[in-house]
Structure 1
Amino acid sequence: MGALDGIDRNILRLLRLNARISNAALAAEVGLSPSACLRRIRILETSGVIRGYTALVDSGAGDSAIAVIINITLERQTEDYLNRFEAAVRRHPEIRECYLMTGGSDYLLRVDVASAGEFERIHKDILSTLPGILRIHSSFSIRNVLAGRPAR
């Protein structure tokens, strides 16, 4: 797919705010017919610009999950080290997100835990066993500022 135009960017912006918006409402918002809007969405999907849709699930009123943000520094930044680390991360569903980073660390990971004890288990059984790690730095979140924000 070539460069995105203003309509494509507007479609993506609106889908980020509400991926369940009806095609008719989306089309009206961006100034297209429903069929033209749907055609653009399909092109964005097949070209890989839109990789999928997801549901953000509330863990429940009684569940107080804590997001832990983990900065990982590898011993080396060679292709082999990066590939081995990423393959190992994919085998652990406890690791909810993993980003290759620039700056002070090589990767940023996110795990959700119910307690410090649960994180201790994840740290011992998973994080410390990942290949090629030089340093692990973990931070516990206080709250998600953007969670539950109303769609615009």
Structure 2
Amino acid sequence: MTAVSIDRTDAKILQLLARDGRMSWRELADRIGLSLTPTLRRVRRLEKQGLIAGYSARVDEQRLGVGITMFVLVTLERQTEETLKVFERRIADVPEVMSCYLMTGEADYILRVVASDLASYQRFMLDVLTRIPGVSRIQSSLAIKPVFQRAAPPIPRA
């Protein structure tokens, strides 16, 4: 996919909304130094271009009872297109899996999985992961603590 070029004002809009997606349009306009109408026009264009993919709230996982985060390396028996598709379809339906990446290297996938405790994670591993056809190896690592998580990738400054 080709990167979309943006100017300094667009970059500032993206930075501000990535930090606070609930910011009022008036505050956004004030912070970038434009009036309301051109600000809204720019935001709508950034949405249409797909640079703003959506708006969401950051949920406090611990307050919901998530006690542990595991990073799980999954290796498949074969890397055929069908095996990959089956795994991806099945894992996408599992609410405990927060993210899934197809990898290069020794493992085929890395998952970020949340659970209330180790017993819950063990149930997930035995009841879900081991039952997906083609899974041959599972390697789990317990995250000790989150250090930081960014809301957006680096935004180029035009």
TM-score normalised over the length of structure 2: 0.78
Answer whether contact 1:88 1:131 (CA < 8 A) is retained. no
- RCO greater where, 1 or 2, for CA within 8 Å and sep 6 or more? 2
Q: In the alignment, is residue 141 of structure 1 matched against residue 133 of structure 2?
A: no
Q: In the alignment, is residue 105 of structure 1 matched against residue 110 of structure 2?
A: no
In structure 1, the partner of 2:46 is 44
In structure 2, the partner of 1:5 is 6
Fraction of identical pairs, as percent? 41
Q: Which amino acid aligns with 2:4?
A: A
Q: Which amino acid aligns with 1:48?
A: G
Deviation at 1:114, TM superposition (A): 1.6
Q: Which amino acid aligns with 2:45?
A: I
Tell me: CA distance 1:62–1:27, structure 2 relative to 1, closer, same or farther (3 Å): closer
1:1-152 map, 5 Å: 3-6=4-7, 7-59=9-61, 63=65, 65-146=67-148
Once the two structures are overlaid, the 10-residue window that deviates more, 110-119 or 96-105, is 96-105
Deviation at 1:64, TM superposition (A): 5.5
**What SS does the corresponding residue of 2:43 show, helix, strand or coil?**
helix
**What SS does the corresponding residue of 1:121 show, helix, strand or coil?**
helix
Report the Cα distance in structure 2 between the residues aligned to 1:103 and 1:27, rounded to whole angstroms.
46
Deviations 1:30-59 (A, max 9, x none): 333322222222222233332222212224
Alignment gaps of 5+ in structure 1: 148-152
Alignment gaps of 5+ in structure 2: 150-158
Deviation at 1:125, TM superposition (A): 0.6
Deviation at 1:11, TM superposition (A): 1.9
